């Protein structure tokens, strides 16, 4: 990888990053780069924003990312937390399950998953991107690219015109059919199971309340109608076994619903979007080819059971985003190697989880929901990553690599805050407890917070109810370094300030 001061003028004056694909993954990456002051272009093949509820489940960990990016209120305003599920068994028995929540936990600000259409998530990200000075170039498709020692030269097509774009890095956020992945020669290993299909559509519905996600279990397969908050529509989902009609017409959907629900009083009308989904379960063999990275569905696809796909793509982008910002600003390019090392195992875990959920759905054993500890993504972490350091026992509940927990009821000179209010914004934060010596010369971009008895300085926090010390298992001299993406980089219970300097030396 090239030192930025030695780049040719052509590359130095070009956008640093070319992002291909303006779905949730590409938009999240663009927001992270815009916030970090890194130049980029974001191209999107389709002419304008796409309809379609698709990934309608936003997990608690993704809400934390949205909080950090400053859009969580906008997203929540268009969604519903902890939507209950009303499930009707083949014998007519009805069960109502409230979504499990992690309510009243000072370390978890968003206690449940949120239902909102995917296009609303994209809309909120696009609005944030505009606030940060960025834009999506709709109607602009990647045609091809070549790599040199310095970066990437891409050919893009817009309105029949071709344009050459040179960039230091190219990130393919271009979905399951990724042109970037194919042209980079990265294998997409796994299987396509043509026999597992599902009609998905956004339709308006008469004769059904919007208080719950309605699910009917039938020997032919499930049918779901989930109200889509902030719209008049429901998401229709029906598994279509081999031999059944896959036509995306309203008449076919109505007939599937009537047959499986046993009701004739529910009428579907005004479909706004529909799609036939086929089970594709694949993971790339690598996330990077020299200056080219893959993120989101371009790198991993699986069944929507468990509601993980969009969330995993957003987390990919959030992981890669701060690393690209850091390297663009002079950190060691080796930092970028940690992207695949940290994210590929997570995607492999998501594939296993969604496969298990899909099997459960097909066999109709129990009610598959999108909400429990395995799907919140709060336990995703990077223990064992090259970017972790700690002096804790193997068995300690909180180690470097884990998600940095939140804590409420912190008193600062500006009033009561929660930790996430103080750590947001895409910087490293050094949190110190007790009698830790001050860090002599904090690295630039390092924010410091000190847990003290009485706040006198903007960096001081009083842990009024002890939630902070409890969440971090803090001892008298504990130091915690939190990464820009909200994971713990380093913990030193010995208060080893030099370990912090060594950490920054190591990542350059």
Q: Which run of H or E residues covers position 184?
A: none
State the alpha helices, DSSP H only, in 364-453. 419-423
Determine, following the binding rule CB under 6 A, whether residue 55 of this chain makes contact with ligand FAD: yes
310 binds ligand FAD (CB under 6 A): yes
Backbone angles phi, psi at 44, to 5 degrees: -140, 125
Binding of ligand FAD by 229 (CB under 6 A): no
Binding span for ligand FAD by CB under 6 A among 49-57, 90-98, 379-387, 460-468: 49-57
Q: How far is the CB of 293 from ligand FAD (least distance, A)?
A: 13
Minimum distance between the CB of residue 67 and ligand FAD, rounded to whole angstroms? 17
Q: Nearer Cβ to ligand FAD, position 239 or 313?
A: 313
Q: What is the DSSP string of 284-331?
A: ES-SEETTEEE-GGGTEE--STTS-HHHHHHHHHHHHHHHHHHHHTT-
**Which is closer to ligand FAD, CB of 239 or CB of 495?**
239
The stretch near ligand FAD (CB under 6 A) out of 55-63, 145-153, 349-357, 465-473 is 55-63
Q: How far is the CB of 65 from ligand FAD (least distance, A)?
A: 12
Rounded CA gap, 433 and 448, in Å? 11
User: Least distance in Å: CB of 318 to ligand FAD?
Assistant: 13
Residue of 10, 13, 37, 46 interacting with ligand FAD (CB under 6 A): 46
User: SS in 3 state form for 53-119?
Assistant: CCCCEECHHHHHHHHHHCCHHHHHHCCEECCCEEEECCCCCEEEECCCCCCCCCCCCCCCCEECCHH
Fill in the DSSP letter of residue 334. Answer: G
Q: Which of 174, 289, 340, 485 binds ligand FAD (CB under 6 A)?
A: 174
Element (H, E) at 411: strand 410-412
Tell me if 361 contacts ligand FAD by CB under 6 A.
no
Q: Name the maximum alpha-carbon separation found in the chain.
A: 73
| Contact residues for 329 (Cβ-Cβ < 8 A; gap 6+) | 36, 38
Does the footprint of ligand FAD cover residue 309 (CB under 6 A)?
yes
Residue whose C-alpha is closest to residue 451's, from 487, 483, 495:
495
Q: What residues are paired with 279 via a beta bridge? A: 193
Residue 83 binding ligand FAD, by CB under 6 A: no
**Which segment (34-42, 208-216, 303-311, 384-392) binds ligand FAD by CB under 6 A?**
303-311
Dihedral sign for Cα 222, 225, 229, 230, please.
positive
Binding ligand FAD (rule: CB under 6 A), the pick from 11, 20, 284, 358 is 20
Out of 15, 36, 227, 307, the residue judged to bind ligand FAD by CB under 6 A: 307
Whether 18 and 169 have beta carbons less than 8 Å apart is answered as yes
**460 touching ligand FAD, by CB under 6 A:** no
- Asked if 17 is part of the footprint of ligand FAD (rule: CB under 6 A), the reply reads no
Residue 367 is a binding residue for ligand FAD (CB under 6 A)? no
Residue 200 in the binding site for ligand FAD (CB under 6 A): yes
Q: Where are the beta strands (DSSP E) in 159-218?
A: 161-167, 169-172, 188-206, 213-216
Among 116, 166, 183, 311, binds ligand FAD (CB under 6 A): 311
45 binds ligand FAD, rule: CB under 6 A? yes
Candidates 168-176, 320-328, 465-473, 487-495; binding stretch for ligand FAD (CB under 6 A): 168-176
Q: Which of 79, 106, 109, 175 binds ligand FAD (CB under 6 A)?
A: 175
Q: Name the residue nearer to ligand FAD (CB basis): 21 or 426.
A: 21
- List C-alpha distances in Å: 415 to 119, 120, 402, 411, 462: 36, 33, 28, 6, 10
In the shown chain, the binding pattern of residues 233 to 272 toward ligand FAD, with x for contact by CB under 6 A and - for none, equals: ----------------------------------------
What's the closest the beta carbon of residue 399 comes to ligand FAD, in angstroms?
A: 27
Q: Does 142 bind ligand FAD (CB under 6 A)?
A: yes
Q: Count of alpha carbons within 13 Å of 254, Cβ hemisphere only?
A: 15
Cβ contact 62:24 at 8 Å: no
Of 53, 22, 55, residue with least CA distance to 303: 55
Q: Ramachandran region of residue 401, left (φ > 0), alpha (ψ -120 to 50) or beta?
A: left
| Distance (Å, whole) CA 87 – CA 260 | 12
Does 486 participate in binding ligand FAD (rule CB under 6 A)?
no
Considering only 172-180, 282-290, 326-334, 394-402, which stretch makes contact with ligand FAD by CB under 6 A? Answer: 172-180
Q: Which residues bind ligand FAD (CB under 6 A)?
A: 20-26, 43-46, 54-57, 118, 141-142, 173-175, 179, 200, 277, 296-297, 304, 307-311, 313, 370
């Amino acid at each position: 990888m090239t030192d930025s001061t030695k780049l040719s003028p052509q590359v130095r004056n070009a956008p640093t990053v070319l992002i291909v694909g303006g779905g949730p993954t590409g938009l999240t990456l663009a927001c992270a780069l815009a916030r970090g002051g890194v130049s980029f272009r974001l191209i999107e093949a389709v002419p304008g924003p796409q309809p379609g509820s698709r990934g309608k489940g936003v997990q608690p960990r993704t809400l934390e990312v949205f909080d950090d990016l400053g859009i969580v209120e906008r997203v929540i305003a268009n969604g519903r937390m902890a939507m209950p599920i009303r499930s009707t068994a083949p014998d007519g028995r009805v069960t109502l399950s409230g979504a499990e929540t992690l309510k009243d936990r000072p370390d978890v600000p968003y206690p449940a998953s949120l239902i909102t259409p995917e296009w609303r998530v994209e809309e909120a990200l696009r609005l944030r991107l505009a606030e940060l000075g960025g834009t999506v170039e709709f109607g602009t498709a990647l045609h091809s690219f070549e790599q040199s020692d310095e970066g990437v030269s891409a050919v893009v097509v817009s309105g029949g015109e071709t344009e050459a774009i040179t960039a230091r890095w190219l990130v393919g956020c271009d979905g399951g059919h990724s042109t970037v992945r194919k042209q980079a020669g990265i294998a997409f290993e796994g299987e396509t199971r043509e026999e597992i299909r599902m009609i998905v559509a956004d339709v308006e519905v008469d004769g059904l309340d919007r208080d719950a996600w309605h699910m009917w279990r039938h020997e032919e397969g499930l049918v779901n109608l989930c109200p889509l908050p902030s719209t008049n529509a429901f998401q229709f989902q029906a598994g279509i076994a081999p031999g059944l009609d896959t036509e995306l017409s309203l008449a076919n959907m109505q007939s599937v619903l009537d047959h499986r629900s046993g009701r004739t009083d529910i009428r579907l009308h005004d479909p706004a979007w529909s799609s036939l989904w086929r089970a594709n379960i694949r993971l790339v063999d690598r996330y990077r080819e020299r200056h080219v990275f893959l993120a989101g569905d371009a790198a991993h696809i699986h069944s929507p059971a468990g509601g993980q796909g969009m969330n995993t793509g957003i987390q990919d982008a959030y992981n890669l985003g701060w690393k690209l910002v850091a390297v663009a600003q002079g950190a060691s390019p080796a930092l970028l190697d940690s992207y695949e090392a940290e994210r590929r195992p997570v995607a492999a875990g998501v594939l296993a989880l969604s496969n298990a959920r899909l099997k459960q759905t097909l066999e109709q054993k129990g009610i598959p929901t999108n909400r429990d500890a395995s799907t919140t993504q709060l336990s995703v972490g990077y223990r064992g990553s090259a970017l972790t350091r700690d002096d804790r026992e193997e068995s300690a509940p909180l180690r470097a690599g884990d998600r940095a927990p939140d804590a409420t009821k912190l008193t600062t000179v500006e009033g009561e805050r929660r930790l996430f209010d103080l750590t947001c914004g895409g910087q490293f934060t050094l949190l110190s407890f007790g009698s830790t010596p001050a860090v002599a010369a904090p690295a630039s971009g390092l924010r410091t917070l000190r847990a003290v008895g009485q706040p006198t300085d903007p960096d001081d926090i009083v842990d009024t109810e002890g939630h902070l010390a409890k969440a971090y298992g803090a001892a008298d001299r504990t130091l915690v370094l939190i990464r820009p993406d909200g994971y713990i980089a380093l913990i030193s219970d010995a208060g080893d300030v030099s370990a912090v300097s060594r950490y920054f030396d190591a990542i350059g």
